[in-house]
A and B are shown apart, each in its own frame.
Chain A
Amino acid sequence: MGSNKVLLVEDNSDDVELMLHAFKSGRIANDVDVVRDGESALDYLMRRGSFAGRDKSEQPALILLDLKLPGIDGLEVLRQIRANPDTKRIPVAILTTSDDEADIIRGYDLGVNSYIRKPVGFTAFTDMVEKLGLYWLVVNIAAPS
């Protein structure tokens, strides 16, 4: 059984803060685990390194993935998630400031479930996060683990 946690992969602490604020404003009560780079994200998901003791049932219900990450970038993280049988069915939404076409195409090629460009207006952003949470965490039926 999967948890209803959200994994946020985001390197900038300000953006993390804004995102968490948006979650709160959007009344999304799900726990949010935050990792700050691609390496940590993979460690978290593959339960290795500093996350070695994490319970397998604690896999997140949704991964929010930034693309520009220090070290392993977002698309590579996505590729490895999709390559691993344990994680390949977890919904992944790319959340990024860019709407670069190449990134969008690569993202879908690698099997991302959603590609979202963070709007500059905070109100719009909050709306968006609310809709995102509602859809992926409530409306959408996840794959059985």
Chain B
Amino acid sequence: MRMLISVVLFSTFVTLVSTVLQLYLDYRRDIDVIENHFDEIDRGSLGVIATSLWNVDIDQLQTILDGLLRLPDMQALEVTETGEYTSNLSVKAGSKQKKAALFRDYPIFYTSEGVARRIGTLHAEATFSGVYQRLIDAAVVILVSQAIKIFLVALFIVLIFYQMVGRHLSTISQWLSRYDLTEQRPVLALPGKPRTPPDELDGLVFSLNDMTNRLLGAYRALTDANAQMERDIVARFHAEREVVRLNAILEQRVKQRTFELEAANEELAAFAYSVSHDLRAPLRRIEGFGQILVQEHAEHLDEQAVHYLDRMCAGAKDMADMIDSFLKLSRSTRGELAIETLDLSAMAAETVHRLREKTPDREIDVVIEPGLTVEGDRRLLGVVLENLFENAWKYTRKAAHPSITFGADQQDGKVRFHLRDNGTGFDMAHAKRLFSPFVRLHRPEDFEGTGVGLATVQRIIVRHGGRVWADAQVGVGATFYFTCWEKGTNDGQQ
């Protein structure tokens, strides 16, 4: 509509300008026509008028003037006599206006006897009213016809424009306004026959389709990415919830286990306490009364009865030893570690000294590498050395030249202690069971023992962040290795 108005306004403006120009040209032409009439009067009629005036033929003059008055636009004509013989003769045709639009005064000369004398003046007046009337008529005709033409042209332009551009734009606009990335839409196509060669609209449509394709591609990529992200988020959310849940379960479990462990520890402590008090006491009685019988009432007993009593007392003692070992094992895993730098060489020497005092009849060649130190709990590592040396002492009993060496070497940058004997050794097939409590690899008739010593050693070494293992050969000997703080910590925080 705006375009229509623009077209109309512009056309109107052009029409007005051209009309004005046309009118102006018409006006000039009319003026020229009038001037021509004036010229014609000059050329054609002035002679006759001069003659008539000379002759004072007033009728003639009147006739001429009337005739001239019939010329188009001629309004008034007047001949006035001038000169020496002025009689103020004046002949008029038509009526003068106050404001003459166009006039011309012709001097009237009469030539007699070769002398041209001015005898009068012809005053001719033309009116513009006719000119104006024609101009107005022409203007009306021009304006009306132009208006109709403009309207028709504008209408035609609008129609053409709509046909060629507007409806396509409208189609594109509707298509665009309905365009939705989320649903599949038909490709944008203009109505009507396809244009060859393609014009700007086809270019626009192509570009739009291309753009929507790219948009769609981008949208799909975005949607995919979003979906992926959503899945990721959901997965992560689930995972986090699962983690929280598992953490809660774990925490609950840890609490439960800690509680159970504490309860078990307490029970174990109570049990150990009870064992040390209540289980040993009856053994003391069995052994005590048995000894009294053997020592003080032997005369009432035969040899067999004394033997039985001996075995009874020995059994009680064995059981007491077992209980002591068990208590030692139990205590090796309880209580805080008091870590200090220990002179293992000196501790080993003390242990050997005690063993020599206990068994003065044994002659064993003992070599202890000097200067061995370790960070550890004096009491517990003392138990370790005691157990290992006692074992070596025990199992070299049948060796011809028993010898024990205690030393250390470096393995992977860590100190590895070893205690080697040339005793009975054992079958490596059973090496794994060696450190289990109450497991023995020898018959009690061959070598006494409770089967708790090495279990105790292992527990203590583990508490010192180390490992203990053995290498042995039956009849050749055994070597026990142990390390401490393999992970590099020695703060005793287990």
Contact = CB atoms under 8 A, between A and B. Distances in A.
Nearest to B294: A122
Given A14-B285, A118-B284, A99 B291 contact: no
Nearest to A120: B320
Interface stretch (B30-38, B102-110, B274-282): B274-282
B273 A18 contact: no
A18 B277 contact: no
Interface in A14-36: 14-15, 18, 21
A15 to B, nearest CB: 7
Contacts of A118: 284
B287 A98 contact: no
Given A18-B289, A21-B292, A101-B331, A125 B276 contact: no
Nearest to B272: A100
B348 interface: no
B331 A97 contact: no
B317 interface: yes
A113 interface: no
A123 interface: yes
A56 to B, nearest CB: 34
Given A120-B316, A120-B320, A100 B284 contact: no
A35 B287 CA distance: 24
B67 interface: no
Contact of B317 (A100, A101, A121): A121
A68 interface: yes
A125 B313 CA distance: 14
B283 interface: yes
B276 A97 contact: yes
Given A100-B273, A101-B331, A120-B320, A18 B280 contact: no
A65 B202 CA distance: 117
Interface string B322-347: 00000100010001000000000000
Contacts of B317: 120-121
Contacts of A120: 280, 283-284, 287, 316-317, 320
A96 to B, nearest CB: 7
B331 A18 contact: no
Nearest to A122: B291
Interface in A90-109: 96-101
Which among A68, A96, A97 has the highest number of chain B CB atoms within 10 Å? Answer: A97
Contacts of B288: 18, 21, 122, 125
Contacts of A67: 277
Nearest to B320: A120
A12 interface: yes
A18 B285 contact: yes
Interface string B274-318: 001110110111011111100000000000000000000100110
A100 B334 CA distance: 12
Contact of A15 (B276, B281, B327): B281
Contacts of B280: 97-98, 120
Contacts of A125: 284, 288
Given A120-B320, A123-B291, A97 B284 contact: yes
Nearest to B273: A100
Interface string A109-137: 00000000011111101000000000000
A99 B273 CA distance: 9
B464 to A, nearest CB: 19
A15 B284 contact: yes
Given A101-B331, A120-B280, A120-B317, A15 B285 contact: yes
Contacts of B292: 18, 21, 122
A12 B287 contact: no
Contacts of A101: 331, 335
Contacts of B335: 101
A18 to B, nearest CB: 4
Which among A68, A101, A120 has the highest number of chain B CB atoms within 10 Å? Answer: A120
B378 to A, nearest CB: 14
Given A12-B281, A101-B331, A122 B276 contact: no
A19 B231 CA distance: 82
A54 B218 CA distance: 109
B276 A18 contact: no
B277 A68 contact: yes
A98 B283 CA distance: 13
B319 to A, nearest CB: 8
B43 to A, nearest CB: 163
Contacts of A15: 281, 284-285
Contact of A98 (B273, B285, B320): B273
Given A14-B285, A18-B289, 14 more contacts: A14-B289, A15-B281, A18-B284, A21-B288, A68-B278, A97-B277, A98-B273, A98-B277, A99-B327, A120-B284, A120-B287, A122-B287, A122-B313, A125-B284
5 closest Cβ pairs, A-B complex: A122-B291, A120-B320, A122-B288, A98-B276, A97-B280
16 contacts: A12-B281, A15-B281, A15-B285, A18-B284, A100-B272, A100-B277, A118-B284, A119-B284, A120-B280, A120-B287, A120-B317, A120-B320, A122-B291, A122-B292, A122-B313, A125-B288
